[in-house]
Structures are given as structure tokens and as C-alpha cells.
Structure 1
Amino acid sequence: MKCPNCGLENRPGARFCKRCGQAMEEVQGSLCPACGTANQPDARFCRQCGTSLTTASAPPQPIAELTCPACGASNKLDARFCRQCGTSLASVPSSPSADAGLTCPACGAALRPGAPFCSQCGARRTIEPVPLAPREPPLPSPPRASDAGVRVAGGVSGQMVVGDHNLVLQVEHLHGDIVHKVQQQPQVRHRSKAATSHLDPTPELLDRRTELDVAADAFGSAAPIEFHGQDGIGKTALLRHLAHHYPGGAYPQGVVYLLAQRTPVADLFQCLHDAFYESDIAFKPSERRIRDDLRGEQALVLLDDVELPRNEVESLIDVAPRCTFVLASPQRRLWARGRSIELGGLPLEDAVALVERHVGRPLTSQEQLDAQGLCAALDGRPDQLIQAAAQVCEGECSLVEVSRRAQTSARTLTTGALASLSDTARRILALLAAVKDAPLHAEHIAAILGTTDALPALQSLQQRGLAQAHSPRYSLAGTLGEELRGSWDLDPWTERALSYFASWAEGGQATELLLAEADPMLRVLEWGAGAGRWEQVLRLGRAIEGPLALDRRWGAWAQVLQWILEASRALADQAAEGWALHQLGTRALCLGEFPAARTALTQALDVRQALGDQAGAAVTQHNLDILVGLVAAPQEPEEPPEEPPRPPSPSLPLLVKGAIALVSILILSVGGWFVWTQIRPPPTPPPTYTPRPPTSTPVPAVRPTDTRQAPTPAQPRPTDTRRVPSPTPDIWGPNIEDIRVEPERYPGEALCGNQQADVSCQITDPSGVGRAALSYRYTSAEGVGTVRTEAMERTNDGRYHASLGTFPGEGELVFRVEAWDDLGNPSSSGEQGRVVLSCIPPSIEEIIIDPEYRPGKSVCYYQDLVVISSVVDSPPAEKAQFCYRFTPAEGGSPRSGCVEMERVDDQTFSAQIKAMGWWGQLSYTVEAWDGEGNASLREDVREVSMCIE
């Protein structure tokens, strides 16, 4: 706080200047977001720079608009014709008059008609968003088989070969995808060089010498490396540098770069295979085929923004064992293998060089000092340093002003940067934050905002370090999106984007265009499913599921189908529910997940038959027939080794040999026919729109007036009156899925032995589930094994549960779930494994603060402090952190901070903090972590005294 008389900076909350004794202003109000000056509590404008103090943090709102009744495009309020299709908008009702009865959103004062700002407080007038009217998609051709609510959008179609059974998936939008069995296999060719996304080289990389040395040591080996840290810390820049600076001889296949953000692991498997192989037709190999093909590949694989759980990361690394994987992730993913390094801020010298680079000119000696203060306040974070330098470069403020804001708080710096933006730029930031930072095309940004000047604003945001370009797309930089989602209400923007993409995707867009915008559409779909916007979820999901299937992104495809199923049930749209079940079952069939395929397709068949959807039922029955054929087909035996020809044996005459062969063929034929009639359902027609007539009950031949067609003589049960199409006979055991172990230390990887663990799963069967059991084997670190079987009970949540109990120490757990239906058909989940950890955190034995005024009670306000903590653990604790909060006496502003403690020896950590500068109370904590992430916390408090006897 600055003295109004002599200008000396005093402590926050000071009542008198410590130099001249002048009474200080009692300022308890907010700080100016533009210049950081403290103002009175009731101040409406900053006394230093005049910036409004009431609207700086208010999120921008979407602008009201007219929606075209023909194509759904957004238009300006005064538009007479649609800018997209030319339809007259004269009859479209506009939003209520914006000038009638408007009040200021900040202070509540009445606004004059047409006034852009409040005359009372200076706040900008905002217009509440008018929701986009959802439009019905164009009618399909040929007409729909049912009017029960199924909407068909677009004309996406295509086919591909899937899996190891030579199945061809024909993507059809009307009644669902169709599967065929073919004999010809796709021709897969190996690439001479791995195909990858092009990465532009970064400017000269600042610092990161330790990280580059670690990467250089790992080049040529299969040991993975991980760099983890918060967004904006420089992980992607490090990967881009490595992509252009690696020993080519160590990786004959080159480098592969994959953006793993929000990408299922199955889709990353497919991306890796596509990088090394190509085929003459679209081909989705099985996971077994992918592992076989990638076993010998040797390349540098860069995975950016990895968010996968630990077990899936391990599985991804194992799929290509000779490749070196370099991961960039927000949190640590590698624990038991490779090297994991946490990226921190830049050192002071390199951080100042980064500021100078983005200011665009050499810094003066005074600016060098100001830059050092700025870098220290922001902990050397590159993204925030770039944003601060951009404000100086744009001439909005000086380096000393930016440094002062940053030392107040990093949030004040961000708020100041937002306050100086245009309205269009702020609305762009709100939209990009609403789509969860997914790159968004500039044309879509302009269309959603309803503006034509989006591109200059986007370029300005990029220059300020608030947005980053992925030409021609843009996304938010660093942690800005997280900050905006925490302070702005972005739901109106997300809903606006969801409605826009639903209308745009239904407009018959090309498959390539839909795939190019898949990421933002998946983000808004996820929001829509969570917010219950089921109609838009159903429309957009139906529009993009086909392109995802054709692009072989089957992990994302499964998620979209699940959202469609949830939407159809929430809307009570049975036709859409039957379609979604058909798609889920068809996907499982192609992947070889036969129990799941049988369950979903059977449910789809029941729904479609109940609706009278004969064409849809025929398509589902066709895929069920393919499933039955795959399950009933005998496994092809391995070909015996070739032997040299032998001379004919003279022991048996040729005629006898022929008779034996004939009898053998007859026996095999009769036996095979008998087995086939027991497992094969009654024959059904190929997919057609004309259903088969029901089979009539046979009548004795003595009635000459009966003109009905006689039944097939080979019918085993002449009184069978089953409906057509007939359900598949139940020859499988129950379907076991969604197995969970709770709680887990690392999902899918490890659990804590000292915590009660529970195993649950979903078990379904058309014939009913008879019983289920959990069998497990625990082997301790000393090699002592325990085997148990526990009955699983069905609870109110519809899942089956069994308790694992606790385990005495570290070891290994292997378990499986078994189930039997009411007919006695068994099934098993197969074995799964978990590592059992002790999960005992480090023990913080003692915290010493030196010097102390009164031991254990108080310290002096003018003395720097050294904190020493004793942390006992085996093996030694990995790191420790000291956090404090100082509350000054007489109502001053509190101060807080955290510092990472330095290791003195295996059981001692230390840290240094500056003097508090005033008397009050100091509360602090020491937190320590071991190598497995187990943490312990100890807290204490000291009085900060004036130390006057």
C-alpha cells in the first residue's frame, strides 16, 4: 500500500506510514484488474486508470439472433433473408425488444433505449442468449420404415474389412450396419517409413538441458520417458524439439507423433498401426493382429497430452516393445518402468530471455530487474510469461506494471489481460473454453458467434498468447481454459455450440468434413449427455457415428453409441433404442466379443419386433445369423507338416478303401447335419423390406380341402409355431462385463492391501442368471499363496458384488468372475491381475523452525526462517513440500505460499522462507510423498512476534 504523502510502499492493511507517519487510506476494496491499484470498497472505477471495477470479470454472453426455419443457420436480428439458403425471415419471430425495460446487469439501474453502456456504473449492456430452435433433419430417401421417432441424417455410407474373421462391415444409416462374411483377405503393406503428422520445429529451446540429457540416454533403447507438468509448462515444445533432434540411425522407421488427448487406447492402437502399415481397402485389424504387426517396429513414438490411466499406458507401450515412447502428460503415468520427470518453470535467466523474445526488443537495465520480479512471481511458467510480455508488446502497460500485477496474484494478471480485449475476442475465448479447449475451425467460430470479424480477433488472441493456432483451427493456450471454466458461466455457449453442430452435421456434410470437426463435436456431446440435452445428443450422435466407424475410431464410436442409447431411453424413443442396440451389437460382433454381441442384438431384435419394424428386424436377424455361424463353425486345424509321398500300400484293395471312405463321409454328413439343426435358428431371408409369412401348423393329409403348402418333411417338431424371425437359441453362458475393483490405488493396476476391496460386475443373460462366483489367488512377496472362492450377490444397483477383504502386505492378486445361467450354461471373465501395495505413507516425525523466539511457540517478524523436517520411510521419501499462511494482526491481507523442500539426507528435508515483515500468526504444513504417491501431512502454528522483551 503506497503512502499518499511520501509514496513509500507499506505493508497491506497499514494504518500509518512507517516513514512519515501519514494516516493511510483504509482500502479494503478490490484491486483494479488493469493496473493493480487498490480502490475503496464502493468504488465503481479505478482511481488510477479509470477502468470499470464492476464488469471486468463478467463472462461474455451469446448475442441474440434469428434462426432460419429451413436450414437452421444463425442470422442477425435485422436480417431479411437467410445468409445460408436465402429463405425469407420476415415471418420468423425475433427475440423480445432489447430496449424494453432493460436494466443494468451490474447495478440494476434502468438503461436508456439503445444505450450500449450503463450511465450509472459504466457496465457494458449484455443481451441474453436466445436459444436456437432445433430443426428437423431432411426426410430420408427411401422413406423411413417407422415414424416412431428415428431421425436419419446425412448420407454417410461405406464399408471396411474388420478383424480376423474376414467380416465386411457395411455402414448403412437407415436400419443399422450390416455384416457380411467374405473369403478374400485385405492386402496389407508395410511402409518403408512411418507416416506421422508434420511438426514444425520450435524456436531455440530455452533450458531443459536435464530433460534433453535424459532423452539422449534413452535413445536407442526401449525404456519409455515421461515429462509431466501442468498445461503451458512447455511439454509440447519439448516434444517438438525431440522430433527434429534424434539420432536417425537408432530409429530406422523414423518418428511418430500422436496427440492422445481424450483419445481411447483402442484408437491409439489403430493410429500406431496406420503409421506403419497401409492396405488396398479400409481395414481395421484386431488387437492381436496389431500386436503381431508392431512387434518388430523400431521408431521414436511421441505421445502428447496423455490422459490414459496407468494400466492403459503400460498396454500401449507394450504393443510396440522395440519403440521408444516419450510421453507428455499433465500428471505422472509411469511408475514401475522408465523415467518420469516433472517439468517446472524456467530458470530465471532463461525466463527473462523468453520475456525479452516476446516483448520484441532488448530490455533496459531497469526492465531487466522488473522482468526478474515478473519471472519470480510467475515461477518461470512460459505460458504466463508470454501473456505478460504480450501486454507490454501491445503497449497496454509497462513491464513494471505487469510485474506489480503478477506479484499481487497470477489471476490478477489474467484478469487484466481479459479486461483489455474487445467484445468479440472475449466471446471467442468463452466459446473455446466451452468446447473444452478442442481446436475449432475459424469458420465455425464465426458462424457460432454470428460475426464476420472473427479472424482478426483470433490473430490478436494468438499474438497475446491467449490462443494457439492449429491452422486453420484455434484453441486456448495453457491453463486459460481451466481458469475461465472456473469463473465464467459457459453453459449457454456449450449449448449454443451443441445446437449449431447438430444442425450443421445433419446438413449432408462430407465424411471428411465431419471427421475434421469430430473433436469439438465429441466434447459438446459429452456435455449434452451430462446436462440432459437428449434431443440434440440424439441428432448429433446419429450424424457422426457413421464417420467415426469408417475412420476406425471405434473407441469414440462406442462412446457415441452409448450416449445415443441413453438419449433414446430418456426420450422414450423405442425405434432409436432398437437402432442403438443393433449398432452396439454389430460393433461387438466385428470385434469378436460374441457374448456382448448376442445380448445387444437379441435386445434390438425384441424391440424392433415389438414395434413392427420388419425391415429393421430382418437386418438385426441377419447379423445374428452371422454370429451363430461364427460361434458354431469348427476351429480350423493347423496344417500338418508336409511329408514325402509314400508308395501305395498293397494291404487293402482299392475297392475296400473306397467303401471305407464313402461310409466315413456319410457318417460325418449325418452327424454334422444333426449338430447344425440343434444350434442353427430357422433360416431367415436376407435383409429385405418384405417379411416372411409365418410358418403354418401342419395338418393331416386326409383333409382334401386344405390348400396350404405342406411343411418341410424334415421339420423335427411339426407343432412349432415360433414367430418369424425366430430368436437365436440360448447356447451361451451369461455375459460378464464392466468389472470394477473399488477402491483402487491405480485404476486397473494396483490396490492397497490395508483397505477393504470389493469386486463388482454386470451380468446379464436372456435365460436369467443362476449364480455367480469370484475366485481369486493372492501371493505375498514372500511367495505364500492363498486361494479363495466367494459367492457374488446381486444388490439394489443391479450389479453383482463380492468382497476381497484385506491383505497382510505387498504381493500379487489374480482373480476371475464365473457365472451360470438358469439353463446351466457357464461363462468366465478370464483372469485379471492387480498389484497389492502396502500404501503406508511416510512418517513426518518432527518439524523444526529456526530461529525461534520462544521454542515451539513464536518466531520474530523480521527474521528469515529455516524449516527442517524429519521424514521416515523405507525406501526414503521421494519429495516434501512446505506450505504456509501468514495472517497479519490488525486485519491486514494474509499471505501464503508453497515451496518444495530440498533433500538433506534420506530422512531430512529443509526449506527457507522470507521474514513475515509484521506480527501476526503463521500456520504451516509439511507434506511428504513416497515413490508410489502415498502422502502424509503434518501441520503446526507459530505466533509471529515483535520480539520485544
Structure 2
Amino acid sequence: MAQAVQAATTNQLKLAKQGHPDAIAALINRSLRTKKINVQVSRNADCLVLMLRADVLPAPAKLVPWLERNLSALKIPSLQQVQIIGWQTHAKLPVWTQEITTRAGKPISTDPKHSPENGVPPQTPCRIEANIQARDVPGQVTVGHNNTIVGENGSLVINQLPANQKPTITPIAVGDDFKPPKFPHLLDRLNASQQIKEILQASQNVECYGSQGLGKTALLRFSAHRDDITPLFPDGIIYLSARNKSVDDLLQSLFEAFYETDIPFKPATEMHFRRMLRNKKSLVLLDNINGSQIDIEYLLSCAPDIKFLLASQQQNLSESDATALPLSGLPMPDAIALFERSLERSLQPIEQKAVRELCAHLKGHPLQIKQIASLIRHQKIAVLDKVKHVLATQSPEQVTVETAKELLDSAQQALPVLGLLAGVPLPANALAEISGTTNINATLALLEDLSWLSTNGTQYCLAENLVTPLKQIWDWSGCLPRLVNHITRWSERYAQNSTEILECADAVLQTLKLAAEAGQWSEVLYLSQLFDKPLWLSRQWGMWEQVLQWQLQAAQVIGNPTATALALHQLGTRSLCLDDSLSANAYLHQALELREAIGDNVGASITRHNLGLLLGDIEPIAESVSDVITPTPPSPSPWPRLALVAMPILIGAIVGGYVTLQNINISTPTSNGSPNPEPSPSPSPELSPSPNPKPTPSPSPEPSPSPNPKPTPSPSPKPTPSPSPKPTPSPSPEPSPSPSPEPSPSPNPKPTPSPSPEPSPFPNPEPSPSPSPEPTTILPPNVSPTNIDFEDDTKTPRTITIRLDGRGESTIGKVDVVGEYPKAFKIIDDQCSGKTLRSQQNSCVIQVQYIAGYPTTRIEAQLLIPNNSSSNPKVVDLAGSNLI
């Protein structure tokens, strides 16, 4: 991460720990960015108010515990209560409201456990010196600018990569390796496949949806090999299963399909994924979708140039995102043809009427038709008898599974494993080892002949419509320990072979889920720890997070503090690498507390090292008091103690100002021509992340009385200034600076700037026609957009709009670009610096252009927009890239 971005993130976290609402909102919004939930935070004394808005708002049972855990980890002083209000977008009333009563916690030190609280002086924290060449480490994953390796006790260590060790990313051709196998005999889907071709030709996504067994996967496989579809996508066709996959894992799979790297690499942010997937003219076949609408929309937004052909059981996307293509049963002629193909003979005239009645009863469902016909052939019974039996039952699946216990012993060994895995595929060799089946090939051939299995040619799973019926007639509860035992032994054998174990990742996840539901926590802990390293190395970090959560739950239930601390450390390290500062802070602090409490000095030093990257001694973006914009008039201070400290200074300032005003009625401007700011409360000099702009003298400063040339925090209201005559402007365009800070009276007053060690970034505000006794409301401006990725576009300027919503005003300071490459982004039009936005004139724009040519593939900076509503400036993240 660029130095400026890291400094901003660190400063943001520090501000959040102090209770700064904008900083808290920024961290929460970053953590929830994939869920399309916008959070606004305000604070009223000891109560924090969170306003959540989303098109699809999650239930409070899911969201509130997460917010409570992460806010508690911030240890915000004096915070007693949190009110969370959930709003649906465009709704007039909130959907739900929750309140959390908190207890202000003590801030956690990053020193070792020996602290003043327990009477032992603090020791110097252990530092991990990691001068490791990334390419020399066999087990490592580079995420963004961070490299992770395994340290003591399996704890991951993060080291920031030097510029000369960053991974080399090389584009590769997709080829046919990612295509699914051909589907040879497609009945009645030719029309649907033709529709798919026409929709894709129109550059639109397609979503096929329908119940289990209607042939969605077959349609995807058939379409992938159409000669009139493949030429539309010169960058290749990729088949992915979305089963148990998060959007981030799917994005990682797409990245690895298009690129190869010299060291294991994972993009850290959505912006990086978008950049790497830009201009890829590819078709992605996404099967077995079980995610939410928000997740799918997020996936599509990260790869806007890629077209998607999706298969799901229900429609998830709107017509603006994908053209819906509902699938239904086969028409009667095709249904009868499928029955005859599965029966492996033609129907006799006497059978045709019964089969027609059967197909109508099954509504042309392809899988059910195949299963009944295959069962008749296997049992060698009369078609009429079986049809009559099916028509008399509520479910055709009940008829299908009645013969399960009449199958071969090897099939009866494999079925419980396949049933417990509930449609999760396994390779044949893994199924043989886990089930103990000796003749696996004959077993699979039998079950496939009965249409009880689905296969892609290498992996097999039970047909999903048979899972529930088989459980109803077959008690598999006693098979679960055997499944867990076999999966564990198999994982031990292949723990060092990430490729082999990842082929069965879905099966391991399903086993962990079943074991957790059954309360087999010792087995869950051991198996999840075995699976920890392979998932970390695989870069499938969404799946890894799920396993770590089970690991954490198991360790807590068992009461194993060492394992609990390890799971917390891994979760925090993962969040830190993925730029989720809020979650990283919560997990790593809990891990550090626990490791220090149990005396795990080595583990604590590693956690402290990683936490240091998040909370390290990085200077804030700016610490100048004069960079803090003074609200006018000042609101009462939220810190009563500040008033006691400031009162003597205020009295002195008033007296001094009164004496000065007896002699001269013109304030001494600062070195940039601005009048000296009014007294206002300032929480802390550290809360101003604005850079110190260069002073710019104003040729014609306006008069403005100033009680004191230096701002002094005060809770008192602003005194009403006395009107004074406007001075005659000097013919000289440049006022000469005076060596004395005190102005000299003159018959014809002429403003002379006084040198100031802390110049204000704000030009002289326009004076009001007459003094008003009514206080002016200072409102925070809204900035849109808050991040811009120019990619490699150096020709098109981007526009940032600053808008004031509501009645009030806001003064914008000197807008500037900071960061590692500030000169890479040029402000070509600035209509906002020094402007006071009011309800009558409530917006302004800034245009920024990207300049390429820097010796790096990724260039980042920040546009800082100071304003007098907050000591924390508004920030627009800027990014650009050079072509790889």
C-alpha cells in the first residue's frame, strides 16, 4: 500500500478510536463495501448513532452482532450506548432499530502484557526482523503490497514488500482448459441455446433459472461449445461453480485464469480486481449460484467487460443486469424421446399412452423422467406397473429410492457419504478412500446408470433431488462419525498437497458444517487446523474465512485459549491484508490480549508485529493546528474540561482584543491574506490530516476584526463584530510583509500581512453586508465520487463535485493532492478552494487529470478537501495504472 494511503488508514483508525464519527463511518463502510450498505455515523455525547441504508437491508440478527463486536474492539472512551437504525433505500420510515448498551473499555496497549496496570514496568516489544526474499520462501502468499509467511505455531507474519520484490504479473491465454466437457445429446434446449446466443451477441448477461434437474448445467455445457458463440469471446470461455464460493473467491479464480505470477499473488482490493479484469472479452459460465442478489451484482460490477451466463434455481438479477431465461419441463415429444433413450428401447403402442400420462404428471422434468425409466430398465419390470405406482405416490423420488437397499454392498457404502455431502462433488479416488468402497468404478457406473449421480467427468455427486428422500428412509446419523474420520484421515495424508486437497475443498467444508451442527467440536477444531494452511495458500480466502470461523467457535467451546488466539490472529491477519482495518483491529487486539494473558510470548510478538502495521507510529497526514478549519460560530465544546483550560486564555484574548480595537479597527491578516480565524474548539492538533499549504498573499484583504491573532479554543459563542469602514485599497498589488506582528495605527489604515508560523489554508471569506446576530449553521459538504480509478486513461479528466445539502454554509480550504505520487494527478480546474458553499450556491466542481509515465504498475494518491465543518478533511482516493 502506498505510504500516503497507509498513513491515511492509520490516522483514520486512530481517529475512530477517539470516537470521531467520520472515521468510524469510513472504516465500517470499507468493511461492508461488498454488501452495498452505506453507513452514516453521528455522536451525541456518550451515544453513537449509526444510520444504515441499503437496497436490500440485512436482518439485524446478522448485522448488529458484527457491529457490536467491532465497535467494542475500538475501545472508544466514554461511549455508553450505540443506536443502530436500518433504512431501506427511498423508504420514509426505518425498517428496524436496535440499541446496544456498551461499557467504555480501556485502550489496549501494544506493549507486552507487563504493564503499569499490573505493577510491572512495560518491556520493549519484540520486533520481528524479516529480511526475507519473497521468492526464497516456499510457503507464501503476496496480497497487494503485503507478503505473508508462516511463523511460529502456524501464525502468519506480514511483511511489506520492497519495490524490487513485487510480483511479476503476466497475461496468459485462457485456452480450452477452463471449458466444461461437451454435452452430447441436448433435448429441447436448442431454442434456449439460440436465445442465449442472441442475447450474448447483444452484449448482455444471461441468467437461466429453474428447479433442480431441469438441465441448466447441460445447457451451459452445450452453449460453451457452440461454433457461433465461441468466436464472440476471443479471450476464452471459463466455467466456474459458485457452490460454497464467495464473490472474492470467484474473482480470484478469474484472475488466475487470465494471469500467471512468479510468486503466489492475490489482489487485495476491488479496485485491483477491476483493473486486472478490464477489457477481458470473455464469457464466464457460472453454475450452482447460491449467493444473494447483492453478491452477484457485486461480481458483475467488478468485471464489467466480461459477459456472464449464469445458472440458478431462482431469478436473482434485474433485467438491467441480466436477461432472464426461465427453464421449464420438456414438451411432450421430447419428454417421450428422453424416456425411450433412458429405457434403451422404443415404447410399444400399449405403453405410449401410459408414458404420455407419466410425462404430463412429471411436467416434463428431465431428471425425474430419466430416473423412472432407468429404474424400470434396471429392475426389468413392466412399464405399465411402474407408471401406475408413480402416479399413485406423492413424489416420484420416493419410488426411485425404494430400491436403495437392494443395491450392491459397495453402492450402499458410497451412498451415505454422497448423501451426507448433499450434492457436493468428489473425485472417484477420494470417494473410494472416504467410503471404504473397494470396487469404486463398478459402483459409480451402477449409480450413474440409474441417473442417481451427476458428474462432470472427473467428480461425482448425488443427484440433489434424491438427498432428502434418501434421508427419510435411511438413518445416516451413525455414518457422520465415519465420514468425519475418513475426511480427517484423508486430509492428514494430503495436507502438504494443496492441489489434491483443494479438489475436495467443498467436501471438507460440508463435513465441517455437519460436525459443527452435531457438536463434534474436537473434530471440527482438528480438521479446520489441518485445512488452514492449504486454504491460505490457495488464495481462496472467502472459504478460508469460513473455516477459521468454525475453528474459532470450536476452540471457544472447548476452552482452548491457544487455539482461540491462533484463530483470532489468522482472522485479523487476513482482514489486514484485505484492507479491512476495522475487523483487523478487532481480531488482532483480541488475539494479543489472549496471548499475553496465557504467556505466549512468541505468539504475542507475532500478533504485535502485524498489529504494528495497522497501528504503527505513522505520522498523521498533517498535525498543524492552523490547518483545522474554524467553525463560525463555534458550537459548544463537547469536552467540558477544555473550557476550564481555555477560560483564562479567552479572557486575556478578549481584553487584549478590546485594547487593540481602541487603536485600530482593521484586523491583521495572516500571511496568505486571510483574516485570523475566530476562536473555536479544536479536539486535538492530531485530528487534522490536512497538509500545510503554501501561504498565498491576497492583494486585497477585506477588513475583519480579530480578537486575537492566534485561535484559542473556547466554548463561548462568537462575539458580534462591530461594523467598520472599508479601507481604501492600496495601489500596490502585493502587500509588503511587516516584520512586526502588531499593526501600527495610521490615519489611512492599510492592511499589512504579518508572518505566521502556521498559515491558514483558507482565503479571506466574503464579508456579510451587515453583522447578523443569528449564528450560521456549519454543515459538512458531500463529495462525489470518493474514489476514482483512472486505470491508464491520461486523456479524460474526472470531475469531483462538492455539494452542500441543507440550509447553512461550509467553507472549503485549499484542495491538494498528497501521497506517494502526488504529481501523477493534476488539478486542472479548481472551483472550490476558498469557496464558501451556501444554500443558495451549494456546489462546486474540481477536475483532476491522470499523468502516466511513473516506474510502477500501480499509482495511488489522495485528493484532500479541507472544510470548516470538521478537522478531518474529505478524502477522494485516486488511482492509476501503467499498462502491464
| Contact 1:442 1:472 survives alignment (8 Å) | yes
Alignment of 1:253 onto 2:235: yes
Alpha-carbon spacing, 1:526–1:416, altered in 2? closer, same or farther (3 Å): closer
What are the equivalent positions in structure 2 for 1:598-747 lying under 5 Å apart? Answer: 598-629=585-616, 632=619
Pairwise CA distance, 1:302: 0.8
Pairwise CA distance, 1:452: 1.9
Q: 1:499 aligns with which of 471, 482, 485?
A: 485
Aligned to 1:535: 522
Q: 1:237 aligns with which of 218, 232, 248?
A: 218
With normalisation by structure 1, the TM-score equals 0.49
Aligned to 2:498: 511
Alpha-carbon spacing, 1:172–1:504, altered in 2? closer, same or farther (3 Å): farther
Distance 1:355 1:436 in 2: 26
Aligned to 1:63: none
Aligned to 2:282: 299
Pairwise CA distance, 1:360: 1.7
Pairwise CA distance, 1:466: 0.6
| Contact 1:221 1:324 survives alignment (8 Å) | no
Distance 2:527 2:618 in 1: 35
| Deviations 1:361-419 (CA, angstroms, capped at 9, x unpaired) | 23322233332222122211111111112123324312222211221231442234435
Q: Match for 1:459: what amino acid?
A: A
Q: 1:381 aligns with which of 355, 358, 365?
A: 365
Alignment of 1:583 onto 2:570: yes
| Structure 1 residue matching 2:289: 3-state secondary structure | coil
Distance 2:382 2:538 in 1: 50
Q: Match for 1:515: what amino acid?
A: L
What are the equivalent positions in structure 2 for 1:532-931 lying under 5 Å apart? Answer: 532-629=519-616, 632=619
Alpha-carbon spacing, 1:300–1:281, altered in 2? closer, same or farther (3 Å): same
Distance 2:367 2:619 in 1: 60
Q: Match for 2:564: what amino acid?
A: E
Distance 2:148 2:441 in 1: 41
Distance 1:825 1:425 in 2: 70
| Contact 1:196 1:257 survives alignment (8 Å) | no
| Deviations 1:237-258 (CA, angstroms, capped at 9, x unpaired) | 0000110014333211121111
Distance 1:787 1:256 in 2: 50
Distance 1:313 1:630 in 2: 39
| Contact 2:434 2:487 survives alignment (8 Å) | no
Aligned to 2:300: 317
Q: 1:401 aligns with which of 385, 400, 403?
A: 385
| Structure 2 residue matching 1:394: 3-state secondary structure | helix
Alpha-carbon spacing, 1:543–1:290, altered in 2? closer, same or farther (3 Å): same
Q: 1:171 aligns with which of 109, 130, 150?
A: 150
More strand by share: 1
Pairwise CA distance, 1:604: 0.9
| Structure 1 residue matching 2:615: 3-state secondary structure | helix
Alpha-carbon spacing, 1:168–1:531, altered in 2? closer, same or farther (3 Å): same
| Structure 2 residue matching 1:179: 3-state secondary structure | strand
Distance 1:401 1:346 in 2: 23
More helix by share: 2
Alpha-carbon spacing, 1:386–1:332, altered in 2? closer, same or farther (3 Å): same
Alpha-carbon spacing, 1:208–1:282, altered in 2? closer, same or farther (3 Å): same
Aligned to 2:467: 481
Pairwise CA distance, 1:343: 1.2
| Contact 2:208 2:216 survives alignment (8 Å) | yes
What are the equivalent positions in structure 2 for 1:254-293 lying under 5 Å apart? Answer: 254-286=236-268, 287-293=270-276
**CA RMSD of superposed structures (Å):** 3.3
| Deviations 1:580-615 (CA, angstroms, capped at 9, x unpaired) | 111011111111112321221121111111111111
Alpha-carbon spacing, 1:447–1:279, altered in 2? closer, same or farther (3 Å): closer
| Structure 1 residue matching 2:202: 3-state secondary structure | coil
Alpha-carbon spacing, 1:776–1:438, altered in 2? closer, same or farther (3 Å): farther
What are the equivalent positions in structure 2 for 1:55-454 lying under 5 Å apart? Answer: 158-163=139-144, 166-172=145-151, 174-183=153-162, 184-193=165-174, 196-245=177-226, 246-286=228-268, 287-337=270-320, 338-409=322-393, 410-418=396-404, 420-454=406-440
Identity of aligned residues (%): 34
With normalisation by structure 2, the TM-score equals 0.53
| Deviations 1:192-221 (CA, angstroms, capped at 9, x unpaired) | 346753422112311124422321221233
Pairwise CA distance, 1:630: 9.0
| Contact 1:222 1:321 survives alignment (8 Å) | no
Pairwise CA distance, 1:478: 4.1
Q: Match for 1:180: what amino acid?
A: N
Structure 2 gaps, min length 5: 1-136, 623-684, 690-780, 784-803, 808-869, 877-884
| Deviations 1:505-549 (CA, angstroms, capped at 9, x unpaired) | 234542222212211000111122222211011000000111111
| Contact 1:175 1:619 survives alignment (8 Å) | no
Aligned to 1:49: none
Aligned to 2:444: 458
| Deviations 1:688-740 (CA, angstroms, capped at 9, x unpaired) | xxxxxxxxxxxxxxxxxxxxxxxxxxxxxxxxxxxxxxxxxxxxxxxxxxxxx
Q: Greater CA deviation, 285-294 or 402-411?
A: 402-411
Alignment of 1:521 onto 2:505: no
Distance 1:176 1:464 in 2: 48
Alpha-carbon spacing, 1:261–1:190, altered in 2? closer, same or farther (3 Å): same
Aligned to 2:812: none
Q: Match for 1:498: what amino acid?
A: V
Q: Which has the higher contact order (CA 8 A, sep 6+)?
A: 2
